[in-house]
Amino acid sequence: MADHSAQSAPRADPHAISDDVFTVPAGVTEVIPILDFGSQYVQLIARRVRDAGVYSVLVGPDVTLEQLKKLNPTGIILSGGPSSVHDENAPQPDPRLFDLGVPVLGICYGMQVATQLLGGNVAGAHEREYGRAQIDIHETHDGLFKGLPDKTSVWMSHGDQIENLGPDFIATATTPTCPYAGVRHKTKPFHGVQFHPEVTHTPHGGDILSNFLFGVCGCHGRWTMADYLDSEGRRIKALVGDDHVVLGLSGGVDSSVVAAMLAKTIGKQLTCIFVDNGLLRKGERALVETTFRDHFDLDLRVIDAEKAFLDDLAGVTDPQQKRTLIGHRFITVFKETSEQIKSEFANKNTQIKYLAQGTLYPDVIESGQGYAGTAANIKLHHNVGGLPEQLGFDLIEPLRNLFKDEVRKLGEVLGLPHAMVWRHPFPGPGLAVRVLGEVHATQLDLVREADEILLEEIVANQLYEKTAQVFAVLLPVKAVGVMGDGRTHEQVIAIRAVESQDFMTADWARIPYDVLATISNRIINEVRGVNRVCYDISSKPPATIEWE
């Protein structure tokens, strides 16, 4: 998913810094590579491992032995995947991986492919097993299931299963339909489970992964965000040297964390560009200014570009056209500003060499870079089409090894305000997609006021952190009303409040009626020009989160 929280700066030459996945951040001593065989849960496995304090990376199934050795792995995980080991092009790991002397955990397909390579036999499915299953555990004194009850439930999702273990394996757990729900090799450090310990539907899944990491692999789990900050900070400091870095700051979580991190690391060698496009929420610019200029004391350039953006948008009603215009204007403003900064620094004999960007690990994985560092097509702010290939900068991406929740933890370690770290995402084109129809300054003010009231009430009622996104939308229609003795003919505000994990699907939030009543009363009383408030009760799909 792209960075929805930030209006990211344009990206420079993606090949500029070869910072490939096989380079472990400095100071990291324990690494668990996960071979991704295509499981829908693969990122979840990586997060569980990292949550346990052990650094993990996702690599392709065709990772070479040399690449794995470069990571100096403490253990290796083979993920699940949709293939059958009998498929013609079924992905396979390098079998020499089992002779590295490093513990390996195979999950679902990962276990099947490993057993097949090590002398077992996997049978095609009679029927798919999907959902909860009861397992009997045979070894609770040691290994993966140490300290677990003899019986527990697990989450299964598979077609094929092991039919014959071969002479070198021992079954460690069974279910009524799956005789080899858990296995281990007699002499090699291989353990496998047919079920998914990484999902919350496996109640002891966390214990099983911990047993693998700490018991089997001997990890200590000392990887923290403070360590990350320290090591990544040192790497960046060494890389930047005496040069200068530019960052496009949006006020979203990712770019704010990058700004705070760089401010701490390289201080005055950073210049941040914040483009006020006139499409921001109330108080947004002030929050960025007070946080970064006052608190972090960094060189912040706030570019007042409201007029240019609104002139571009005049008369435009099509949301895609709005996005394109906003994206292009952003590039123009950013380019002009960075040229200006470059010329300022030319006199000081300092090179502005780097552009920093808040690319996250899921973006890196999605782009294909996670595997062998080949493709270089990191997903950008998805409104910016036709980006200039070169702005003449090299790229610094301090968050490219992190998941979103880790970025938030890092933001807290850096002392960013809570409200900034836990901010709901805000789309790059801002309020332009929340004023339906033509975008004018007056309409923007109206939606801004309504949005502010809405957020105040959501926060006051402790609903902000229970919801994924909450905002007001101004509809391009007028409705009739009555105020005092007269009839009114005014606009309608729609309220959108959703719960969502990944923003790909979402459900409308069950905001209590009395909170909705207060919100509605306040908006109608306090926002001139609005006489009606509606609550959006559509889920995604089929609706989307934004109205546009």
Residues that bind ligand XMP (CB under 6 A): 4, 323, 381-383, 425, 427-429, 469, 503, 540, 544-546
In the complex with ligand XMP, the residue whose CB is nearer, 310 or 326, is: 326
> For residues 264 and 44, what is the distance between their CA atoms, to the nearest angstrom?
31
Taking the complex as a whole, how short is the minimal distance between the CB of residue 502 and ligand XMP, in angstroms? 9
Minimum distance from residue 456 beta carbon to ligand XMP (Å): 20
3-state secondary structure 439-500: CCHHHHHHHHHHHHHHHHHHHHCCCCCCCCEEEEEEEEEEEEEEECCEEEEEEEEEEEEEEC
Which of 207-210's residues contact partners 24+ apart within 8 Å by CB, and which partners?
A: 207/147, 207/148, 208/144, 208/145, 208/148, 209/48, 209/49, 209/52, 210/52
Least distance (Å) between residue 324 CB and ligand XMP: 10
Terminal-to-terminal C-alpha distance of the chain: 19
- 126 counts as catalytic: no
Cβ at position 397, least distance to ligand XMP in Å: 18
Give least dist CB 538 to ligand XMP, A: 11
Choice between 264 and 540, CB closer to ligand XMP: 540
Pick the closer one to ligand XMP by CB: 192 or 427: 427
Q: How far is the CB of 535 from ligand XMP (least distance, A)?
A: 17
Residue 461 or residue 539: which is nearer to ligand XMP going by CB?
539
**Among 266, 269, 305, 268, residue whose Cα is nearest residue 285:** 305
User: For helices 404-413 and 225-240, what crossing angle results, to 10°?
Assistant: 80
CA distance 396 to 389: 16
412 is written with which tokens?
């807290």
Nearest C-alpha neighbor of 493 from the set 514, 465, 521: 521
Let me know: does 480 contact 487? Beta carbons within 8 Å: yes
User: Which distant-in-sequence residues (6+ apart) come within 8 Å of 197 by Cβ?
Assistant: 107, 154, 204, 205, 206, 208, 209
Closest by alpha carbon to 243, among 396, 138, 388, 112? Answer: 396
Cα separation, 267 vs 298, in Å, equals 7
Token output for 143? 């290994």
- Which of 227/254 has CB closer to ligand XMP? 254
Query: Please, are residues 547 and 432 in contact by the beta-carbon 8 Å criterion?
Result: no
Q: Rank residues 251 and 425 by Cβ distance to ligand XMP and give the closer one.
A: 425
The identity of residue 303, as a single letter, is: I
Cβ distance to ligand XMP smaller for residue 259 or 506: 506
Query: Is 196 one of the annotated active-site residues of the chain?
Result: yes
- As a whole number of angstroms, the distance between CA 384 and CA 357 comes to 15
108: annotated active-site residue: yes
- Read out DSSP for 305-371? -HHHHHHHHTT---HHHHHHHHHHHHHHHHHHHHHHHHHHHHTTT--EEEEE----HHHHHHTTTTT
Between 358 and 428, whose beta carbon lies closer to ligand XMP?
A: 428
Closest distance to ligand XMP from the beta carbon of 507 (Å): 12
Q: Which of 4, 30, 108, 244 is catalytic?
A: 108
CB closer to ligand XMP, 48 vs 408: 408
List the one residue out of 258, 263, 389 whose CA is nearest residue 331: 389
| Measured distance CA(278)–CA(293) in Å, rounded | 20
Amino acid identity, position 320: Q
In whole angstroms, the minimum distance from the beta carbon of 297 to ligand XMP comes to 29
Instruction: Report the catalytic residues.
Output: 108, 196, 198
